Structure 1
Amino acid sequence: MTTRTVLVTGRGGSGTSTVAAATAVHGARHGLRTLLLAAHDPHRTVDTLLGVRLGDAPAPVGDGGQPPYAARIDEELAFQQEALRLSGRAKPAFDLFGVDPLDPEELIALPGTRHLVLLRTLREHTASGHWDLLVVDAPPVPELLAALALPERLDRYLARLLPEQRQAARALRPVLAGLAGVPMPADWLFEARRWASERLAEARRVIEAPQTSVRLVVDADGYSLPEVRRARAGLALFEHRLDAVVAGRAIPAAAADSADPWLAALAAERRAALAALAAEFAPAVPLLHAPHLGRTPDGPADLAELGAELYGGGPDPEPPAADPWTVEDRLGEDGVLLWRLPLPGADRADLDLVRRGDEMIIATGAYRRIVRLPSALRRCTVTGAGLRDGALSVRFAPDPDLWPRR
């Protein structure tokens, strides 16, 4: 069975850890072999919710026939292990130059290590075959998108630094160097390029898999609709599937009928705000309510109660079908090709498009992506663009010097 991966994200303090833990407990109680990964939990909130101290190795939490397993991503430990492994391979060079290798206590994770460790952990656990459901208490949206975009960006850099034609000429390296003095990369560089490409491809397969999706948590008490829209547009820009929006700590609907006028008025106000949020995402993305239990969840029993309130009697939402980027042939009607990019939540004022050779740089707010154009569009010039009904449409006209004449 293929592992279903759910990346639970949201602004800090919105209840992301609580929703992730409740999702994992709910999945396990429905018979799924479930692993909860605390990937962004510096204050060990997940530990407090589950009543255990998590380590880097998956361990069962709670009682029952099939409890969920949980683990935390320890970037410091992962960095030390990887650095020591590389140090062992470099020991002959250290000995040659009289360099003393660093002790484990001296090794402190560098910036960006968390992203790499998250990608490696996702790849390892989805490939293990041990889990039906992998729930990740993920970083906030900007940091999560930066981590998930890393394989695509690194692969692009590798392609520029060591393109395919240079790899194809590997066997001719001695001949080229001897005849024309053409410098060619050494064999170890080709091997490093191949190794890196394989690892990046494995990470991208997990991220782009149809069974991987993102679940966005917002605080029912204090969300900002423009902020939610920007988060949705950022996820769409990188083509991540958004399976649900969860309103965390929502006031129960019964509070609207309370005899206390203050509570009733507050409940009515929150209900109207959540109705606006539901309308923003309808009908493509469901809005789920994680009601306030009247207390802080404490242990798997409380999390199971919250999961039942959140998902009902069945499993959690399935990943939605992809809304692909498409090219529409309108040469006969309008003389253009139309490139349609679904960007729900994007604002026209936040959009920026730059054509650079065979690539398009697309930005929406703080999020920026470089995309290689489909082959037909590379022989065209951009004539305009528009944002309508949550989709960006870019118009391309054939370049007479490049387009085949009829």
Structure 2
Amino acid sequence: MRTLLVTGPGGSGRTTVAAATALAAADAGHRVLVLSADRTDTLGAVLGGPHAHPGLTARRLTPDDRFRDDLAALQDRAASALDLLGADRIDAEELTPLPGAEELALLRALRDAARDDTYDTVVVDLPPAPKALAVLALPEQLRRYLRKLLPPERQAARALRPMLGRLAGVPMPAAWLYETAARWEDDLTAAQAVIEAPTTTVRLVAEPGPAGADALDAATTGLALQGLRTDLLVANRLLPDASADTWLAALAAQQHKTLAAWETEYEQVTTVRHLGHDPRGTDDLTALGLPGRTEAPAPVQWPVTAAPADEENHAYVWHIPLPGVVREELGLIRRGDELVITAGVFRRIVTLPSALRRCTVAGAGLREGELRVRFAPDPGLWPRER
């Protein structure tokens, strides 16, 4: 199954591009599912209805219903503990989704689509780039938190269970808590597997111009830090080259200047002309001329290489591609077997490869859009031969 994650700066036409991409894939004979978390159902309006194409299924996520079901189930599981504390149960009618419910619903939808062999292509209309990157990074982050928190909680529950049983006759809910955490781990692992799959790529959408270029630079850095690949950059709403209106002509010239720079920076760029109105329905979407599926680029590699011969005190160099980042926006902290990397507004905590865990960080440098972290052997963990 091919998964296309569509995002870009706010207002760049992400939903329109997602709908046109899904329609083009369906026209090519693929069974297509297009997902949107937009509460206003903009996707349905752009497609012109829920049945725009026989091979296309459009689905809008409803995180409110799933949130109510999850919280009701949690209350049922924790009933004994809630009674012990004297807490009142919350009725489903008074529940409203907490922040983060939409993100979790989107991750669940990705997981479920991957387990369903009904579709060949899944197109996801993601939120604007900064929020989309936070959503895509969520499975890895939450799994890390679970691994950190679960062992102490489980040990404490075991120790307290006999005492609570004698005092109140109420069993400590350690078992179901652990089962719930294990289920979350499985769900998050499945969602992360879809995001990191070789057949999953990000399709960026931006309107050419200074603001779009700045937003795109930041998004590209965030995607690279997360190890995600871009299969296509869609330069949206391109104005005609020649216009009698001097204002439009100046704006078109600005667009083409930005477009020329993008074509040198990105491997695949396609242009979408401005239709003069907001695209609505299958005819408008087809007129945009977007490809449904492209060849997925090679997986992102973070190779570890031997240090140059003239660097006697260094054993390895870890190459981390970070296009678009500047030296002043970089941060690097070693914490145990993990490396905390900050690039602009983005941060990721990554586990060191096994060989580098026995080394210390000896320095780092930024060259040609690549962060190169140098490591030296730790004599206490990896004694040198005499």
TM-score interval, smaller chain: 0.7 to 0.9
Matched, 1:272 2:257: yes
CA separation of 1:245 and 1:257: change in aligned 2, threshold 3 A:
same
> How many residues are aligned here?
372
Matched, 1:319 2:296: yes
CA separation of 1:166 and 1:74: change in aligned 2, threshold 3 A:
closer
**5 Å matches for 1:63-82?**
63=53, 66-82=54-70
Cα deviation, residue 44, structure 1: 2.7
Secondary structure at the counterpart of residue 256 of structure 1: coil
Secondary structure at the counterpart of residue 276 of structure 2: coil
Give the corresponding residue for 1:286.
268
Matched, 1:140 2:119: no
Q: Please say if residues 213 and 240 of structure 1, whose CA atoms lie closer than 8 Å, have aligned partners that are also in contact.
A: yes
**What letter matches 1:16 in structure 2?**
R
Specify every segment of 5 or more residues in structure 2 that has no aligned partner in the other structure, as ranges: 163-171
Q: TM-score, normalised by structure 2?
A: 0.87
1:128-187 per-position Cα deviation (integer Å, ceiling 9, x unaligned): 111111111101122112112122112212222235x999x9xxx79xx9xxxxxx9943
Greater shift, 126-135 or 378-387, is seen at 378-387
Q: Please say if residues 218 and 324 of structure 2, whose CA atoms lie closer than 8 Å, have aligned partners that are also in contact.
A: yes
Q: Please say if residues 221 and 249 of structure 1, whose CA atoms lie closer than 8 Å, have aligned partners that are also in contact.
A: no
Matched, 1:310 2:295: no
1:370-396 per-position Cα deviation (integer Å, ceiling 9, x unaligned): 111112112222221111111110111
Secondary structure at the counterpart of residue 180 of structure 2: helix
Give the corresponding residue for 1:330.
307
Secondary structure at the counterpart of residue 340 of structure 1: strand
**5 Å matches for 1:209-358?**
209-220=197-208, 223-251=211-239, 255-258=240-243, 263-281=248-266, 285-306=267-288, 309-311=289-291, 315-330=292-307, 332-335=309-312, 336=314, 337-358=316-337
CA distance in 1, matches of 2:46, 2:96: 28
Secondary structure at the counterpart of residue 81 of structure 1: helix
Greater shift, 147-156 or 326-335, is seen at 326-335
Greater shift, 90-99 or 343-352, is seen at 90-99
Give the corresponding residue for 1:57.
none
Give the corresponding residue for 2:26.
28
Give the corresponding residue for 1:14.
12
CA distance in 1, matches of 2:79, 2:173: 24
Q: Please say if residues 291 and 310 of structure 1, whose CA atoms lie closer than 8 Å, have aligned partners that are also in contact.
A: no
CA distance in 2, matches of 1:186, 1:98: 19
**5 Å matches for 1:184-223?**
186-220=174-208, 223=211
Cα deviation, residue 338, structure 1: 0.5
CA distance in 1, matches of 2:128, 2:247: 33
Aligned pair partner of 1:362 in 323, 341, 359: 341
Q: Please say if residues 61 and 67 of structure 1, whose CA atoms lie closer than 8 Å, have aligned partners that are also in contact.
A: no
**5 Å matches for 1:104-183?**
104-163=92-151
CA separation of 1:84 and 1:192: change in aligned 2, threshold 3 A:
closer
Greater shift, 336-345 or 263-272, is seen at 263-272
CA separation of 1:390 and 1:97: change in aligned 2, threshold 3 A:
closer
Q: TM-score, normalised by structure 1?
A: 0.83
Give the corresponding residue for 1:387.
366
CA separation of 1:97 and 1:333: change in aligned 2, threshold 3 A:
closer
Cα deviation, residue 206, structure 1: 0.9
Give the corresponding residue for 2:168.
none
CA distance in 1, matches of 2:203, 2:131: 15
Q: Please say if residues 332 and 342 of structure 2, whose CA atoms lie closer than 8 Å, have aligned partners that are also in contact.
A: yes
Aligned pair partner of 1:62 in 49, 52, 56: 52
CA distance in 2, matches of 1:222, 1:19: 21
**What letter matches 1:310 in structure 2?**
L
**What letter matches 2:320 in structure 1?**
L
CA separation of 1:15 and 1:334: change in aligned 2, threshold 3 A:
same
Q: Please say if residues 24 and 35 of structure 1, whose CA atoms lie closer than 8 Å, have aligned partners that are also in contact.
A: yes
CA distance in 2, matches of 1:69, 1:157: 35
